[in-house]
Chains A and B, each alone.
Chain A
Amino acid sequence: MTATSVEAARDSGLLRLATAGSVDDGKSTLVGRLLYDSKSVLADQIEAVEAASRARGYEQADLALLTDGLRAEREQGITIDVAYRYFATGSRRFILADTPGHVQYTRNMVTGASTAHLAVILIDARHGVVAQTRQHTAVAALLRIPHVVLAVNKMDLVGFDQDRFAEIDEAFRRLATSLGIADVLSIPLSALRGDNVVDASTEMPWYTGPTLLQHLEQVGIDDDLTALPARLPVQYVMPGDGSLAGQLVAGELRVGQDVLVMPEGRPAVITDIHCLGTATTYARAGMCVSVRLDGAGEGRRGDMIVSTLQPPAATRQMTATVCHVAERRLAEGARVLVQHQTRVVEGKVTSIVDRLDLATLEHTANSEALRVNDIATVVVDLDEPIAADPYRLIRATGSLLIIDPRDGATLSAGLVGPAFR
């Protein structure tokens, strides 16, 4: 990256993306290719990969070795856990969550994709849309990742055939539409050869769309969180002036604005806003601020300052779609902690309503204890109210963790409200 491109990158935002693919779809190779061809891999890293590849008796450098970092991964040739990669081009900075596809795909993908603006779902052109593609796409839809890219990999192994690509593209679009995903782009590519990853392929002149990297540079990343009603979870009360510090997760705040302090629903007026030490009259989603309200001693960690328009309802009973991420089970009647933004309350799982089969998208009544990777609808009774929004309206205030009070382990990722509806 040149100095001038750094200047440009500084002001064109940051795209968070997640990759999903099955074991042999070539995901590590795609990520390696993206890093390599965008010149985000430096000479000493390339030398290390070449040396490791030679030691394994490979003729070519195995780009997958760029990303499989842990001892066990390199020994077993698999990816164990989500890893984060960083790269930049002349117009954007990228954070890539590289999620392993083969074991515990739901848990890993939820972990890697919960903050993503875009998901890259990888499939092998020879196999087309398979069960795992359906699952990856369903998780992307469940998490409401705004943009989805279908990377049809290994086009070199199907003779760069346009009809084969069109067939896969059509099948995938049917799936995405049925899941309510609005923005889909399919790209035919070969990660191994580098076709359409960073550079346009000379083998597929029939494809006139962007390469993967071009699309990543162009795709919209402003979900326009400022258009949503204001939500400021209080993280910390500043010891000096008693102002309430937090990151505004949605909407805008102005000095003089009427707000409500949830979950009590107490009305207040914003009298001061500071952004990291500087006084301001306006703050928007994404900014870390500290605010003062009229009246003394109001507010504490766990409160949420919200707009008087469309405030969330305070509730002691919550229905959520959960993705169970722990090996240990979670049964009806279990005592749990619910972490919703900065508020943590005690709760009890009163009912496991149904189970979602990601392959068929059918809900089946089944109240057995949750196992790892299960997706289910649960009802949790809470000792104290929380002010949550439906996840489909505001991701930040519609998401929560279900935690085991015995040792603090995270059990489930919760999305407030029903799935896909």
Chain B
Amino acid sequence: MAFSQTGSQLRMSYLDVLEAEAVHIIREVMGTLDRPVLLFSGGKDSAVMLHLARKAFLPGLLPFPVLHVDTGHNFPEVIEYRDKVVAEHQLTLRVAHVQDYIDDGRLAERADGSRNVLQTVPLLDAIQHHRFDAVFGGGRRDEEKARAKERVFSLRDEFGQWDPRQQRPELWNLYNGRHDSGGHVRVFPLSNWTELDVWNYIAREGIPLPSIYFSHTRQVFQRGGMWLAPGEWGGPRRGEQLQERRVRYRTVGDMSCTGALPSEASTIEAVIAEISVSRITERGSSRADDKLSDTAMEDRKREGYF
């Protein structure tokens, strides 16, 4: 907790304000709902979420499990990071595998090889199977214009659907997570954070991240204006040339749709400096699936995507 002196008053820094708001939200969920779970992809927002959730219950252990929806097209560095974090903090890890659904025919592989949209069904099944009634996500309202409309406590029906026209007003710091049986609440404690806030907080708290967030040499090829990594997911295709580049990742998702950006930023400080002057948004620079249409995110969210 750092205070700054302004005139005669002590004030919490803006990161302290955001941290306290998130912890308050996380504790409200523990105080009012029965079976929370934290969605954990191994990305930077999940890393911050996990850090905040752990802090909220110190000196005790995290009082709920974490859930990873495994697309089967993960960066190996991210899975390694996930398992290390789980062991270090004695977390209970649940995994929902997209591959299982493809293997037994419940889901079909898409022509473009992306499994990002395929995550929704295994996610909803896992929520139902474990009877989770509150699902923490690292979603931020600054990510995308449809997310800007999302409540902190977002009700989902038994099909996991989001209806932006039927949202419950959210007043003061009073969160109302009452929901129909069979439905659940998505909770977004990082709603008011921006990408830069997340990085400044990671720097301040010394939160470890998967190595792919920092500059490294990697084989990549170009498709649709993005630098993609080769893998079993189906790249590169004929005519797509592998090249060795210095890159890093700005987001972590399915390998098929998460682009690398050319970067020399190999420390947290260098990454912050790079983002601070970037003229491209996080999703604009690295997510292919948001470019499918003007309202791609909203349409996926309506179906139950995070």
Contact = CB atoms under 8 A, between A and B. Distances in A.
Q: A and B, one complex?
A: yes
Interface string B159-185: 000001101111111101011100000
A19 to B, nearest CB: 14
Interface in A66-96: 66-72, 74, 80-86, 88, 93, 95
A143 to B, nearest CB: 9
A28 interface: no
Contact of B60 (A239, A249, A409): A239
Interface in A237-291: 238-241, 245-247, 249, 274-278, 280, 284, 286-288
Interface residues of A, number: 79
Given A6-B200, A74-B295, A114 B171 contact: yes
B192 A86 contact: yes
Interface of A: 1-3, 5-6, 9-14, 42-45, 48, 52, 66-72, 74, 80-86, 88, 93, 95, 107, 110-111, 114-115, 222, 224, 226, 235-236, 238-241, 245-247, 249, 274-278, 280, 284, 286-288, 301, 325, 339, 341-342, 395-396, 399-401, 403, 407-410, 413
B28 A222 contact: no
B259 to A, nearest CB: 12
Contact of A12 (B4, B173, B279): B4
A168 B59 CA distance: 57
A193 B157 CA distance: 44
B12 A287 contact: yes
B277 A2 contact: yes
Given A80-B164, A235-B27, A409-B168, A341 B174 contact: yes
Nearest to B195: A86
B146 to A, nearest CB: 5
Interface string B17-47: 1111001100110110000000000000000
Given A239-B60, A341-B174, A44 B277 contact: no
16 contacts: A10-B200, A11-B4, A45-B281, A69-B148, A70-B164, A83-B141, A95-B192, A115-B173, A235-B24, A236-B27, A236-B30, A247-B173, A275-B1, A286-B17, A288-B27, A403-B176
A399 to B, nearest CB: 5
Pairs A-B, 4 closest by C-beta atoms? A408-B178, A69-B145, A277-B58, A44-B284
B219 to A, nearest CB: 26
A1 B17 CA distance: 20
A342 B180 CA distance: 21
A65 to B, nearest CB: 9
Contacts of A395: 172
Given A68-B145, A80-B164, 13 more contacts: A42-B280, A69-B145, A70-B295, A71-B294, A84-B192, A88-B196, A111-B170, A240-B60, A247-B173, A287-B12, A288-B23, A409-B178, A410-B171
Main secondary structure of the interface of A (DSSP, over half): mixed
Given A70-B146, A84-B192, A339-B174, A110 B272 contact: no
A6 B273 CA distance: 9
Contacts of B27: 235-236, 245-247, 288
Contacts of B298: 69-71
Main secondary structure of the interface of B (DSSP, over half): mixed
A2 to B, nearest CB: 6
A246 to B, nearest CB: 7
Given A236-B30, A301-B31, A43 B279 contact: yes
A235 B28 contact: yes
A2 B274 CA distance: 9
Contact of B176 (A239, A274, A408): A408
B23 A236 contact: no
A224 B9 CA distance: 8
A44 B280 contact: yes
A115 B173 CA distance: 8
Interface in B177-204: 178-180, 191-192, 194, 196-197, 200
A115 B170 CA distance: 10
A226 B12 CA distance: 12
A247 B192 contact: no
B171 to A, nearest CB: 5
B166 to A, nearest CB: 10
